[in-house]
Structure 1
Amino acid sequence: MDILVENITKTYGTQKALDNLSFQVKTGEILGFLGPNGAGKTTTMKAITCYITPNEGTITVGGKSVHEVPDEVKSSIGYLPENNPLYLDMTVVDYLTFIGELQGVSKANIQAQVEKMIRLCGLNLEKHKKIGQLSKGYKQRVGLAQALIHDPEVLILDEPTTGLDPNQIIEIRKLIKEIGREKTVILSSHILAEVEATCDRVLIINKGQIVADGTPESLRKEAQGKELLKVGISTSERNEAYKALADLDEVETVSFIDTDASLFEIESGTGCSSVEAIFKMCVHKGWYITQLTPVEKNLEDVFRELTQGN
């Protein structure tokens, strides 16, 4: 089920939370939604799930308008908000049964659906415990289970791994990827490595506007710009090696990473590569190259460049 967001704007008094925002999410796609605090991520998710109404623009989920048929849209969406509100005095089974009834799961199917969610979310050993007795990780699992109880075609997850330990993050990440094979998923997170490992596509929002949209790999390549190399040379003449590298026409800047190991970071000139020139220079000097590897920007570098100053 596709999600189409077209030119939505949302203001709170004089503050513009969303500014003419547009994007589309395809069926079976896991979209990572990134941005600094206050960028508009949660506002966008609340608009898609019909919790708030934009001042301008349109949103359709599976071709249905959130303005015209909000109840139908809600029935097709599973939503896990950031604060994961739960009834702590209820057992896991009772809570999921209650949520299933609220979501319109038939009486004939509700027990089977609750059992399916308990199995899918790894809650079997905890199912008869009160939710208040569970760890943070298991509470998040319960939150995912309630979002999935009515078998929605769209899943909206706002910071689903907040407060989890590394093992729990890996488990929830695996679960989301399995779910994403069949459903449309929007995942908001501050953990960039998690987004990079989980999502098919990344959308970065800043000040209510989209500043980047693409796969993690395409965003890294787009931000790469000039060639950046890490070069190690086996020679005791470190200063001579530094000067020889700096004198190459293809090299724009050279800096020491480790003077003891003669390890350098080299930035090539615009539109060119200095790899061949470095090889030839080292052969001419009789030096061995101990390392020559490209330095790639990660998603954190891309995020920082696009949202810096906020």
Structure 2
Amino acid sequence: MSIRVQNLTKIYKQQRAVDQISLTVNPGEIVGFLGPNGAGKSTTMKIATGYLSPTEGTVDVNGFDVRTNPMDVRRSVGYLPEHNPLYLDMYVKEYLRFAGSLHGLGGSDLSQRIGQMIELVSLGREQHKRIGQLSKGYRQRVGLAQALIHNPPVLILDEPTTGLDPNQLTEIRQVIRDAGQDKTVLFSTHIMQEVEAICDRVIIINRGKIVADAPLSQLRSASADEGVVVVAEFENELTAPDVLAAVPGVERVEPLGDGLYRITAGPSIDLRASIFRLAADQNLTLVGLRQQENSLEGIFKELTK
């Protein structure tokens, strides 16, 4: 296993940022690491790169313990932090040469590798500029290039697509997918579509604890087994919303305001026809009716309430 976390805890003063979590990421996996702000994602990633020390537990990366073999861990990892720390006065190629030299690369091998990285992350037109002259999106590309410069077996990327436009997003997602063919990739993001586009497996952390760790298809299936959700929109607030609860199969009705109601039924029950008939029978003006998909966003919200 390329990344193995066992009973990891990190305490800042009185706060348990990470609380007894365990996870593994295997070679060739691209795993999305999700959670609300402050959930413990960045702390876990920083520990896995050797940037922070754990309070309790163990973390192995590429077979090396972060406590006893920190330098071997750092050689094994390409890391892009959440706040991309670049030297803004350096030129793009100069910075990549500097980053490669820190990993022991030099001479023609390093020059060749720099050229490959510039092509990989599409920095060709910007390669002769100072980093401080680049847009945020291009700075992210430089950060990703430095994470890959030494061809590490493990990539740890903390919100790698921050600041990218839609075209850049597509390109960087493809870079991550390509990298995942022969590397282990653990990356965090708040963009659910990104995870659905790249990952087969998702880990969700909330308040320092892992609340889900499963293939995306399995998460969706489990969510569907818990019930079907329909959102009904009426022209006006219902004076007696209990009429919705009386529809056969309805388990829960939640008023959302402005005439909107979230209605939950049992597994595999489609309420739409019944609600439509109810509205006609009760002379209620129904202006919208849709069944919610078991999207990752909905699952995320449910697990991190």
Q: TM-score, normalised by structure 1?
A: 0.81
Separation of aligned partners in 2, 1:254 and 1:206: 26
Amino acid at match of 1:185: V
Amino acid at match of 1:129: K
Q: Deviations over 1:205-235 (max 9, x none)?
A: 011110111122322222231234689xxxx
Amino acid at match of 1:47: I
Separation of aligned partners in 2, 1:89 and 1:207: 38
Percent of paired sites with the same residue:
53
| Counterpart residue number, 1:64 | 64
Residue 303 of structure 1, aligned match among 280, 300, 303: 300
CA deviation after TM superposition for structure 1 residue 56, in Å: 0.8
On the 8 A contact 2:97/2:110 being kept in 1, the answer is yes
Separation of aligned partners in 1, 2:245 and 2:57: 54
| Counterpart residue number, 1:123 | 123
| Counterpart residue number, 1:285 | none
Say which SS state the counterpart of residue 89 (structure 1) adopts.
coil
CA deviation after TM superposition for structure 1 residue 107, in Å: 2.6
The structure whose Rg is larger is 1
On the 8 A contact 1:220/1:296 being kept in 2, the answer is no
Separation of aligned partners in 2, 1:206 and 1:90: 38
**Structure 1 pair 49/273, CA: closer, same or farther in 2 (3 Å)?**
same
Paired residues in the alignment total 285
**Structure 1 pair 148/271, CA: closer, same or farther in 2 (3 Å)?**
closer
CA deviation after TM superposition for structure 1 residue 272, in Å: 5.9
The Cα RMSD (Å) is: 3.1
Q: Deviations over 1:41-82 (max 9, x none)?
A: 110000000001101111111221111111111101000011
| Counterpart residue number, 1:148 | 148
CA deviation after TM superposition for structure 1 residue 248, in Å: 6.7
On the 8 A contact 1:49/1:73 being kept in 2, the answer is yes
Say which SS state the counterpart of residue 194 (structure 2) adopts.
helix
Q: Deviations over 1:184-223 (max 9, x none)?
A: 0111111122122222211110111101111223222222
Q: Please tell me whether residue 159 in structure 1 is matched to residue 153 in structure 2.
A: no
Q: Unpaired runs of 5+ in structure 1? A: 232-243, 256-263, 282-291
Separation of aligned partners in 2, 1:274 and 1:161: 38
| Counterpart residue number, 2:6 | 6
- 16-25 or 155-164, which moves further after superposition? 155-164
Q: Deviations over 1:156-177 (max 9, x none)?
A: 1111111222222222112111
CA deviation after TM superposition for structure 1 residue 30, in Å: 0.8
Say which SS state the counterpart of residue 115 (structure 2) adopts.
helix
Q: Deviations over 1:95-116 (max 9, x none)?
A: 1111100111143411111111
On the 8 A contact 2:62/2:153 being kept in 1, the answer is no
Q: Please tell me whether residue 186 in structure 1 is matched to residue 186 in structure 2.
A: yes
